[in-house]
């Protein structure tokens, strides 16, 4: 049986949506094919059986033989259903009998531990042993097509659930419902309401379409019964075809030559060219390191009240080593893409005593090539236009070879925060 076809099949089994893709591929290599005639027992009550069974083709009845007990309720198992010893029971609790010609894939008993994942991204390490950003993107499988995510104490919050967290977790939820040979190639997301980081987020996935080459998923993030974020994502199986690239990576210093955010912060605290009030404010503010390392290509001495061109270039990568799952790396890139993106549209409007609010409205990404989010990626951002209290930004992401990996756009609400004039005081 073709290993790729088996992997695709296993990816559609609801029980296995919580497994990392590495486990699915391993199970696909280990399963045995067994055939049964109509009326034949697949497993008998009280026996251990051969392992854990997945129905590939045909149907089976659960329960006693009809001739023995016509009134006993029986359940019918069909394609993608599963049963057997290996997870919670020492023996098979009930008879399973083929009601048609039946083909099952059987995971032998000695390999059933693969069905008990430590993380949705890795079969080898627990969620606590992962890098912070990988832990942020971990989800619990609540039910078929339903996942639960949380905001970790160390995760960036900005007074609310970070928009990148919505995108990364929603994309993770969608990815777990698609066969692991298909990877996201584009998504379009809308931020509807502010999220509360003190409570879990429920992600409901709608399987819009499953085709041979493409699959489509719609994801809704829910808190307090309200949809607060939505994403439409498209996935594609890898294919080889026409290729070209007109985009050219700008000439910038290598990331090793640039200061990290932490080093840049320390340098700015001691820089006499920056206003004293600004330095005091930075020094007094609680600094929470991000799970993504950022290095600006053109570090300068401007502040958030200094007018500057509507563009910026910086290198970024996830801190720590990520599990080797391409779906995870794309989720991490989606997460990181929102950290500084829409703020670039404010650059030409900054001035002394300038205060503004900036909230993401929508976000779209296109993945052109495989990415490694734990290796340096150059993010080139520009804001071509803003108007009607909306800022528009577009970006390109290149690897160190100059290959264009991702294109993206975002629109956000940008409004100046006006400080009310103090009430006049009486001179009496």
Instruction: Indicate which residues carry an active-site annotation.
Output: 338, 360, 410
Whether residue 235 contacts residue 184, with contact meaning beta carbons closer than 8 Å, is answered with: yes
Q: What is the C-alpha to C-alpha distance for residues 232 and 218, in angstroms, rounded to an integer?
A: 5
3-state secondary structure of 35: strand
How many other CB atoms sit within 10 Å of the CB of residue 141? 20
Q: What is the C-alpha to C-alpha distance for residues 367 and 333, in angstroms, rounded to an integer?
A: 10
Q: What is the C-alpha to C-alpha distance for residues 213 and 423, in angstroms, rounded to an integer?
A: 65
Q: Return the closest-CA partner of residue 237 out of 6, 399, 8, 3.
A: 8
Phi, psi dihedral angles at 210 (to 5 degrees): -125, 110
Task: Give the max Cα distance, the chain.
Answer: 102
Q: What is the distance, to the nearest Å, from the Cα of residue 307 to the centroid of all Cα atoms in its chain?
A: 35
Q: What is the DSSP letter of 197?
A: T
Contacts of 329 (CB under 8 A, 6+ apart): 322, 370, 371, 372, 373, 374
Contacts of 68 (CB under 8 A, 6+ apart): none
Whether residue 366 contacts residue 330, with contact meaning beta carbons closer than 8 Å, is answered with: no
Judged on CB neighbours under 10 Å (0-12, 13-18, 19+), 274 is: middle
Judged on CB neighbours under 10 Å (0-12, 13-18, 19+), 266 is: middle
Supply the angle between the helices 261-269 and 276-284 in degrees, to the nearest 10. Answer: 130
Q: Which residue's structure tokens are 């991702």?
A: 406
């Amino acid at each position: 049986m073709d290993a790729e076809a088996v992997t695709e099949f296993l990816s559609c089994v609801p029980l296995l949506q919580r497994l990392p893709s590495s486990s699915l591929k391993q199970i696909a290599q280990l399963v045995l094919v067994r055939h049964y005639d109509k009326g034949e027992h697949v497993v008998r009550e009280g026996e251990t059986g051969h392992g854990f069974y997945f129905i590939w083709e045909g149907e089976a009845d659960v329960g006693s033989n009809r001739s023995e007990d016509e009134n006993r309720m029986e359940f019918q198992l069909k394609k993608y259903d599963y049963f057997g010893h290996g997870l919670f029971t020492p023996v098979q609790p009930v008879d399973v009998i083929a009601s048609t010609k039946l083909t099952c894939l059987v995971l032998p008993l000695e390999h059933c531990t693969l069905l008990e994942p430590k993380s949705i991204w890795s079969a080898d390490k627990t969620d606590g042993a992962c890098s912070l950003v990988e832990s942020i993107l971990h989800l619990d499988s609540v039910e078929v097509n339903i996942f639960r995510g949380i905001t970790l104490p160390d995760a960036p919050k900005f007074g609310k659930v970070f928009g990148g967290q919505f995108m990364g977790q929603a994309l993770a939820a969608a990815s777990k419902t698609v066969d692991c040979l298909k990877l996201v190639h584009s998504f379009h997301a809308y931020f509807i309401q502010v999220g509360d980081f003190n409570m879990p987020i429920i992600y409901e996935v709608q399987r819009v379409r499953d085709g041979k080459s493409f699959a489509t998923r719609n994801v809704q993030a829910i808190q307090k019964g309200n949809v607060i974020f939505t994403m439409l994502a498209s996935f594609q199986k890898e294919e080889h075809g026409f290729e070209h690239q007109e985009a050219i990576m700008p000439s910038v210093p290598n990331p090793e030559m640039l200061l990290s955010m932490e080093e840049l912060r320390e340098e700015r605290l001691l820089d006499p060219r920056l206003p004293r009030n600004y330095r005091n404010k930075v020094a007094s503010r609680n600094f929470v390191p991000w799970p993504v390392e950022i290095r600006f290509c053109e570090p300068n001495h401007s502040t958030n009240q200094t007018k500057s061109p509507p563009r910026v270039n910086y290198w970024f990568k996830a801190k720590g080593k990520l599990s080797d799952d391409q779906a995870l790396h794309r989720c991490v890139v989606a997460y990181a893409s929102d950290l500084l993106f829409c703020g670039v549209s404010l650059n030409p409007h900054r001035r002394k005593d300038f205060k503004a609010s900036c909230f993401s409205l929508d976000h779209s990404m296109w993945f052109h090539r495989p990415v490694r989010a734990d290796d340096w990626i150059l993010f080139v951002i520009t804001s071509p236009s803003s108007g009607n209290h909306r800022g528009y930004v577009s970006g390109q992401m290149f690897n160190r070879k100059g290959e264009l990996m991702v294109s993206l756009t975002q629109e956000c609400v940008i409004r100046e925060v006006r400080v009310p004039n103090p009430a006049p005081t009486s001179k009496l």
